[in-house]
């Protein structure tokens, strides 16, 4: 029995060493420039393999030496600090801030670009006010660009007396910087909030990118919608003060929203169980239906099919003041029909 336990311990330690070696290789490749990063990754990978061999060959110095290297790498990784001061791409150059005076919310740096293509657009940054007492509900948009597993989430708050206010959580890229989901694990990108007009942030995806955008209207009272919006307000302002790293799994467009809404518990009208669909955001509609956040008298397939808005969105121009009304035509409301 003791021999079996020893072998199991060796296997566990080997997996730990190889796992940390793989993480370190990725960190060095994505955080150090060009040949330096590749050379460092090769060297660290070799050290990890040597440590794994040492576990089985009875040479404890090898895994111990690797452990020292890994601790040093962790120290460097921990020292990496996010920043607001970089040469950002134009559409993410400004972060929104939101001031509250009673029920009046004033959003500065609200984005209202007009997109002809991803590279051809008119830049518009505005200041807009919203009356919290006139909030009506919350709508979600999921934008699919590559299969059904992953989609980008937009959250839109609707008001009785003004156009919707939409939030998007984005990877804040620098000019010339390309997006990589793998790099998103290694403190390469900062996170950004975008507060925008729907004609901008939804229209970018329906018109300029030609993505498959689907809308889901939540079962939520105006009071709860206001609570969710105020949670956004607090986090938007927090990010404007303190930069934050984006992470492909832990700090992305769906996990941040999950934590924001979860922070309202226990007063929330439906529970928020942890679920893989929070990360695999393309499957979020099924999760929303399971927790009762959307209509229960319609099947998931009906909600998805009736929520597809891209063709309808492209029937109007992005300059049209009717855009938000048109894209909601035929989309099931959050209220079940009698």
Q: How far is CA 184 from CA 30, 86, 190, 305, in A?
A: 9, 17, 9, 32
Question: How many Å apart are CA 38 and CA 30, to the nearest integer?
Answer: 9
Say what the pLDDT of residue 337 is. Answer: 42
Question: How many Å apart are CA 273 and CA 296, to the nearest integer?
Answer: 18
- Helix, strand, coil percentages, rounded to 5, for the chain: 45, 20, 35
pLDDT in tens, the chain (338 residues): 688 888 898 899 999 999 999 999 999 999 998 899 999 999 999 999 999 999 999 888 999 999 999 999 999 999 999 999 999 999 999 999 999 999 999 999 999 999 999 999 999 999 999 999 999 999 999 999 988 999 999 999 999 999 999 999 999 999 999 999 999 999 999 999 999 999 999 999 999 999 999 999 999 999 999 999 999 999 999 999 999 999 988 888 888 877 776 655 544 444 566 678 878 889 989 988 988 889 999 999 999 999 999 999 999 999 999 999 999 999 998 764 43
Q: Is the preceding peptide bond at 8 cis, omega within 30 degrees of 0?
A: no
Q: Would you list the domain boundaries of the chain?
A: 2-79, 90-328
Say what the pLDDT of residue 268 is. Answer: 47
- Count CA within 13 A, CB hemisphere, residue 266: 0
């Amino acid at each position: 029995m003791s021999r079996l336990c020893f072998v199991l311990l060796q296997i566990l330690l080997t997996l730990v060493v190889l796992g940390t070696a793989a993480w370190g290789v990725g960190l060095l490749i994505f955080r150090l420039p060009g040949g330096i990063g590749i050379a460092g990754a090769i060297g660290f990978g070799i050290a990890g393999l040597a440590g794994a061999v040492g576990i089985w060959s009875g040479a404890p110095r090898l895994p111990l030496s690797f452990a020292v290297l890994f601790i040093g790498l962790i120290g460097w990784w921990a020292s990496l600090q996010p920043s607001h001061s970089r040469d950002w791409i134009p559409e993410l150059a400004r972060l929104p801030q939101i001031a509250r005076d009673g029920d009046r919310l004033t959003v500065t740096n609200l984005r209202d670009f007009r997109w002809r293509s991803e590279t051809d657009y008119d830049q518009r940054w505005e200041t807009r006010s919203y009356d919290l007492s006139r909030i009506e509900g919350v709508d979600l948009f999921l934008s699919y660009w590559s299969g059904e597993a992953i989609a980008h989430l937009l959250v839109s708050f609707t008001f009785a007396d003004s156009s919707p206010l939409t939030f998007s959580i984005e990877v804040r890229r620098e000019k010339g910087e390309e997006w990589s989901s793998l790099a998103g694990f290694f403190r390469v990108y900062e996170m950004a909030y975008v507060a925008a007009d729907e004609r901008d942030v939804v229209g970018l995806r329906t018109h300029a990118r030609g993505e498959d955008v689907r809308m889901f209207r939540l079962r939520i009272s105006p009071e709860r919608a206001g609570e969710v919006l105020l949670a956004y307000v607090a986090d938007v302002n927090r990010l404007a003060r303190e930069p934050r790293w984006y992470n492909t799994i832990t700090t992305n467009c769906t996990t941040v929203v999950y934590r924001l809404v979860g922070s309202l518990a226990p007063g929330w009208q439906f529970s928020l169980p942890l679920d893989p669909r929070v990360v695999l955001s393309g499957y979020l509609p099924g999760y929303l239906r399971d927790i009762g956040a959307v209509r229960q008298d319609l099947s998931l397939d009906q909600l998805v099919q009736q929520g597809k808005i891209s063709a309808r969105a492209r029937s109007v121009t992005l300059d049209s003041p009717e855009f938000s009304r048109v894209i909601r035509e035929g989309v099931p409301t959050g209220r079940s029909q009698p």
